[in-house]
C-alpha cells in the first residue's frame, strides 16, 4: 500500500467530487493511515437564518472527509458509495471555520465504517458527530 499524501487527498478532492461540493471550499489539513482532517471555511453562502452554518453543508463536508479518510486508508481513491449516514447536531456554529476529523473505524472487504467529528476551528467545540457506512468495490487480492 502506498503512502497517501495531503497532495493526493487534494487531487481526489478537486477531481472526484461534484462541482457543488467543491463550492464548499473544503481543504485538506491532514491525512493518515486511519483518517483525515478537512477544513470547511466559514462563508455566508453556507449559513441559514441567524448566521449559523447549515446542517446540509456540515453533513456534505463530513461525507467528503470520510471518503478522503477511506482513500487514505486504501492508499488511493476508489469509487465508493455512501450506504448510510447518521448525524447528531450538538451545537450551532457561526463565524468560524469547521474542522472535520474523519476516522476509519473498520475497513472490510466490501464495507467501510467511519465517523467524523465536526468542531469549531476557533474554540474546538464539538458541533456535530457523523457516522457513515460505505460500500467498497471489489479489490484485487494483495500479494
Instruction: For each of the domains in the chain, give its residue range(s) and CATH number, in order of start.
Output: 6-135 (3.10.129.10)
**pTM of the predicted structure, to 2 decimals:** 0.94
* pLDDT per residue as tens digits for the range 3-49: 899 999 999 999 999 999 999 999 999 999 889 999 999 999 999 98
Burial 62-81 (b: 16+ CB within 10 A, else e): bbbbbbbbbbbbbeebeebe
pLDDT of residue 103: 98
Amino acid at each position: 500500500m502506498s503512502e497517501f499524501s495531503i497532495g493526493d487527498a487534494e487531487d481526489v478532492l478537486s477531481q472526484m467530487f461534484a462541482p457543488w461540493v467543491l463550492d464548499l471550499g473544503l481543504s485538506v489539513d491532514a491525512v493518515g493511515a486511519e483518517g483525515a482532517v478537512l477544513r470547511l471555511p466559514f462563508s455566508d453562502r453556507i449559513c441559514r437564518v441567524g448566521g449559523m452554518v447549515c446542517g446540509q453543508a456540515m453533513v456534505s463536508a463530513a461525507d467528503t472527509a470520510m471518503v478522503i479518510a477511506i482513500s487514505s486508508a486504501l492508499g488511493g481513491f476508489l469509487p465508493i458509495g455512501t450506504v448510510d449516514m447518521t448525524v447528531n447536531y450538538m451545537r450551532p456554529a457561526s463565524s468560524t471555520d469547521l474542522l472535520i476529523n474523519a476516522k476509519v473505524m473498520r475497513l472490510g472487504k466490501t464495507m467501510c465504517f467511519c465517523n467524523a467529528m465536526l468542531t469549531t476551528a476557533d474554540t474546538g467545540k464539538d458541533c456535530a458527530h457523523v457516522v457513515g457506512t460505505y460500500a467498497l468495490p471489489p479489490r484485487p487480492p494483495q500479494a
